[in-house]
Structure 1
Amino acid sequence: MAEHYPIAPQVVDPIETHINYTIDGLIGLLNVRRVQLLELVRNTREEKRAAGIARDQMIAQLTEAQAHLQEDLRENPLQSMQKRIVQEMNDKLRDLRNNIPVVTQLKWQCDTRDLETSISRMGEIVQVPIGVPDYAAFQTSTVATGKQGSRPGELYGPSGVAIHEDSHRIFVANYYNHRVEIFSDTGEYLNQLGVGQLYKSHGIAIHRETVYVSCFGDSNVYQFTLTDMSLVRKIGGMGSNNGQFNCPSQLTTDPIGHVFIADTNNNRISVHDTDLNHIRNITHQSMSYPNDVKVSRDRVYVLCPYNNPCIHVLTIEGDKLHSLITKGQGMDVLRPWFFCLDPLKNFIISDYESHSIRVFSPEGNLLHTIGTEGHQRGMFYYPQGIAITPNGRLVCVSKNENCALQIYY
C-alpha cells in the first residue's frame, strides 16, 4: 500500500526535480549496459584470462564514469549540464569501444547508440528494450542487396528468414534456387547451405548451431549443423501421419530447441524435439492453412493468411486465447504472409498484397507502415520473410528485381 506524506510548506524546485529525474534515468541505463557487458564477456569465446581482464577493465571504466557523472551533476549548473554529460559519455564510450573484444564489438556499438540517443534528449529518457527497431526512422533501407538471380548471393523467390543469435548472420530460404543464402547483418554475402539437397526451400529456423529448413517441393524438413554446414537428417514426406507434412511452411524454435512447424495443408502446427522426433500436434477448428508460427515463453502465435486472415494467439499447450483479425477489422492487412515479434511483442507483418511492412501493437493497433510497391530500395514487391536481429535491425526479403534483401537500422 502506498504511503501518504503530509504536505510540507515548501516550494519544489523544478530545476532540482529535473536534474534528479535525469540522474536516475542515466544511472538506470548505465546499470542495464553494465549487466549486458557482463553477460557478453561471460559468453565470449576468447581465452578465459584475456576475457576476464577485458571484463574487469570495462566494469571499472563504467563505474568510474558513473561516479564522475554523479559528481559533475551535483557540482555543475543546469545550463552546462547537457554539454558536459554528452562529452563525458562520448569519451568513455570511445575508450570502451577500443578495448572491447572483437566478438562483442557489434553488440556494444548498437547498444550504445541507444544510450547516446537517450542522453541527447535530456529529461525525456525512456528505457526501451535492446533489439526494438526504430520503425519511425525507417524512410528507406540502409542496406539493399541480393538482387534477383541464380548466382551465389542472388535470390529467386526468397521466402523465410532467420537470424543466428550470436553472429547476427542472416539466413534466407532461396525458394526457386533450392538452397539457403547466408549474409552478414550488413548485407555482405557469406555462404550457401543445402546446395543440391533442398527442393523449393520455404521456411527456416535456427537454434544455436542448428538450422532447420522446410521444403514445399518434397514436404520434408531438413536439419543442418553450422559447424561444417552438413546435413544431419531429414524427416517428413507427403502425408498426414505424425512426422509427415503436406506443404510445410515457416517454422520456429522455442528457447529449449523444440521445433514448431506450420504444416499448412494439414491445418496444424507440428511440434518436434531438437532431433526432429515428433512430440505432438497443435490443432484448432479455426486454424486454417497456417503459413507462419512464432513462439514466446508462454504463447504460440499462428498466422493464417487465407479465408479470413488472422493471427491466432494460443497458450504454449495449444489452447486458443484469442485472434487478431487482420483484414477489414482494425488491422487492415490485405494478405499477411510472414510475421515476427519484437521484444515488446509488437507484430511486424509482411503484407503480400499491399507490398508493405506493417507494425502493430500487441492489441492490433497500427503503429507504422514501411515501404510501398516497387523494385527499388525502400520498396517491396510481394514481401516475404521478415525478422529482427538481436541488435534491432529489421530484415525483410521480397520478390524485388533490384533489391530482394533489405536491412533497416
Structure 2
Amino acid sequence: MAYRDPSQVVDPIETHINYTIDGLIELLNVRRAQLLGQVHNMREDERAAEIALQGMTTQLTEAQAYLQGHLKENPLQSMQERITKEMEDKLRDLRNNIPVESVLKWQCDTRELEICISRLGDIMQEPVDLPKYSTFQTSTVATGKKGSGPGELNSPHGVAIHEATNQIFVADYSNDRIEIFSDTGEYLNQLGVRQLNGPWGMAIHEENVYVSCCVDHTINQFTLTDMSLVRKIGSVGSNNGQFNFPRQLTTDPIGHVFIADRGNDRISVHDTDLNHLRNITHQSMTKPFDVKVSRDHVYILCPYNKPCMHVLTLEGHKLHSLITSGLGMDVLCPLFFCLDSLNNFVISDEDSHTIRVFSPEGNLLHKIGTDGHQQGMLCYPKGIAITPNGRLVSVSRNENYGLQIFS
C-alpha cells in the first residue's frame, strides 16, 4: 500500500462544510445586493414622491391664489358673459337663417328675447349707493328759490336724473319749462322754454328726455344733443296715443316709455320714438300717478287706492298690492316715488310733508322731513329721485327753496 501524506488527505466532512459556507456567503452576497437594490429603489421612490408633493403643493398654492383672486370679483361675471354670448350667438344664427319675408314677424316675436339680453347687461352693474336715510336730519343743498328767473322754480313737480352726468332735471310746472341743475345744486340750463304747457313728469333714457304735460295732455321728446324738441304726441282722449291728464313716466332698460295715464286708469307703453305699443290695465288700478320699472316688475302708485302701490309683471299681470294710504295710515297723499338699489320705495307724501321709505314688503323703514319752509323741511313735497352717487333729491313748494338734496 502506498504511503499517503496526511496533509494531502481530503476530509469529506471539511469539504462539505467549506462548500456549505461558500454557498451561504454567495447567498448572503446575493441577498445583500437585493436589499441594497430595494433600498435604492425606495430612496428613488421617496425622491419621486417628494418631487410630486412639491409639484402638488405648488399647484395648490397657485390654485388658491387664482381662486382668491376670482372670489374678489363678482361671482356672476363669468356666468353673465357666457350666457350673454350664447344668447347673442343664437340670435345671430336665427337672423342668418330667417327668410326675408319673415324678418318683420321674427323681430316682433323675439322682442322679449331682446329685452332679456338687455336685462342681462344690468345684472353686473355696480349698485347705486344707498342714501343714508337714518342720518338725513337736514338737506346739504337747498336752491331754486321761488321765481321765474334762471335757476328759480315755481311749483316744481317731477324730477329725473341723467345717470351719465348726475344732472338733475326739474319740471318747473308754473314756468312751463325744465330747469337743469348739477348734483351739488348749481344751475346749469333750461329746456323746453315756450314749448311746454304744464310739465308734470319726466324720464331720461340716454340722450332722450321725455316730458308729460297735463294741461294739454301731451308727451314731449327732447334730445340733449342740441336741447331741441324732437316730437310731441297726444291730445285729450282715451284712444291709443291719446291721454287724459298724464302724470309721471319712466323708461325701461331698452328705452320703452311707461306713462301713468291718470284719467284713463292705465299705463300707456311706447317705444323710444313714442309709437304706442300696448296698455297695462287692471281693475284695482285706478288713477295712477307714478310708475317705475325694474328688470322684472312694474310698480304703479295710485294715491287714491288702499293699498296704493301695485306690483305687476312686465306683461301687466298683477302680483300684489302694498303700503296703506289714507287718514291715520302710513301715508296720506303719495304722488311721486322712486326705487333705490334694494328696491325700497322712497315716497314723497304731500299731505304729511314728509318722505317715507318702505321696504319691498311694504314695511316703513324711515321718515324724513317735517312741515316748514326752512332748509331740511318739506312743504307739500312732489318729485323725488336718487342720483347714481347716492344723493336723495326732492322738490317741494317751500317758499325759500324749491329743490333740496340730501346726502
Residue identity opposite 1:317 in structure 2: E
Instruction: State the shift of 1:327 in Å.
Output: 1.9
Residue identity opposite 1:217 in structure 2: V
* Among 134, 137, 154, the residue aligned to 2:135: 137
Residue identity opposite 2:358 in structure 1: F
Consecutive aligned runs of 4 or more in structure 1 exceeding 6 Å deviation: 26-30
Residue identity opposite 2:350 in structure 1: Y
User: 1:50 corresponds to which residue?
Assistant: none
- Residue aligned with 1:141, SS: coil
Instruction: State the shift of 1:308 in Å.
Output: 3.1
User: 2:193 corresponds to which residue?
Assistant: 195
- Residue aligned with 2:146, SS: coil
Residue identity opposite 2:380 in structure 1: Y
* Among 160, 163, 166, the residue aligned to 2:161: 163
Mapped partners of 1:349, 1:326: distance in 2 = 12
* Among 316, 319, 327, the residue aligned to 1:318: 316
TM-score, reference length from structure 1: 0.68
Instruction: State the shift of 1:394 in Å.
Output: 0.4
Residue identity opposite 1:324 in structure 2: L
User: 2:400 corresponds to which residue?
Assistant: 402
Query: Structure 1 374/275 Cα, relative in aligned 2: closer, same or farther at 3 Å?
Result: same
> How far does the alpha carbon of each residue in 1:58-116 deviate from its partner, in whole angstroms, 9 at most, with x for none?
xxxxxxxxxxxxxxxxxxxxxxxxxxxxxxxxxxxxxxxxxxxxxxxxxxxxxxxxxxx
User: 2:27 corresponds to which residue?
Assistant: none
Instruction: State the shift of 1:129 in Å.
Output: 4.0
- Residue aligned with 1:265, SS: helix
User: 2:57 corresponds to which residue?
Assistant: none
The question of whether the paired residues in 1 share the 8 Å contact of 2:201 and 2:249 is answered with: yes
User: 1:217 corresponds to which residue?
Assistant: 215
The question of whether the paired residues in 2 share the 8 Å contact of 1:240 and 1:266 is answered with: yes
> How far does the alpha carbon of each residue in 1:11-63 deviate from its partner, in whole angstroms, 9 at most, with x for none?
xxxxxxxxxxxxxxx9999757xx9xxxxxxxxxxxxxxxxxxxxxxxxxxxx
* Among 360, 365, 376, the residue aligned to 2:358: 360
Instruction: State the shift of 1:334 in Å.
Output: 0.8
> How far does the alpha carbon of each residue in 1:259-282 deviate from its partner, in whole angstroms, 9 at most, with x for none?
000000010000000000000000
The question of whether the paired residues in 2 share the 8 Å contact of 1:153 and 1:181 is answered with: yes
The question of whether the paired residues in 2 share the 8 Å contact of 1:309 and 1:335 is answered with: no
Instruction: State the shift of 1:130 in Å.
Output: 3.6
User: 1:75 corresponds to which residue?
Assistant: none
Identity %: 72
The question of whether the paired residues in 2 share the 8 Å contact of 1:216 and 1:247 is answered with: yes
User: 1:381 corresponds to which residue?
Assistant: 379
Q: How does 1:95-110 map to 2 (within 5 A)?
A: none
- Residue aligned with 2:175, SS: coil
- Residue aligned with 2:263, SS: helix
- Residue aligned with 1:372, SS: coil
Instruction: State the shift of 1:137 in Å.
Output: 1.2
TM-score, reference length from structure 2: 0.69
| 1:369 pairs with 2:367 | yes
> How far does the alpha carbon of each residue in 1:355-398 deviate from its partner, in whole angstroms, 9 at most, with x for none?
00000100111111000000111000000000001111100100
Greater radius of gyration (CA): 2
Instruction: State the shift of 1:330 in Å.
Output: 10
Query: Structure 1 28/160 Cα, relative in aligned 2: closer, same or farther at 3 Å?
Result: farther
The question of whether the paired residues in 1 share the 8 Å contact of 2:215 and 2:245 is answered with: yes
Instruction: State the shift of 1:131 in Å.
Output: 2.1
* Among 243, 258, 261, the residue aligned to 1:260: 258
Mapped partners of 2:254, 2:369: distance in 1 = 35
Query: Structure 1 178/393 Cα, relative in aligned 2: closer, same or farther at 3 Å?
Result: same
The question of whether the paired residues in 1 share the 8 Å contact of 2:306 and 2:326 is answered with: no
Query: Structure 1 394/28 Cα, relative in aligned 2: closer, same or farther at 3 Å?
Result: farther
Mapped partners of 1:347, 1:291: distance in 2 = 15
- Residue aligned with 1:327, SS: coil
Q: List gaps (5 residues or longer) in structure 1.
A: 1-25, 36-127
The question of whether the paired residues in 2 share the 8 Å contact of 1:356 and 1:383 is answered with: yes
Q: List gaps (5 residues or longer) in structure 2.
A: 1-67, 78-125
CA RMSD of the aligned region, Å? 2.0
| 1:279 pairs with 2:277 | yes
| 1:227 pairs with 2:225 | yes
Mapped partners of 1:362, 1:28: distance in 2 = 31
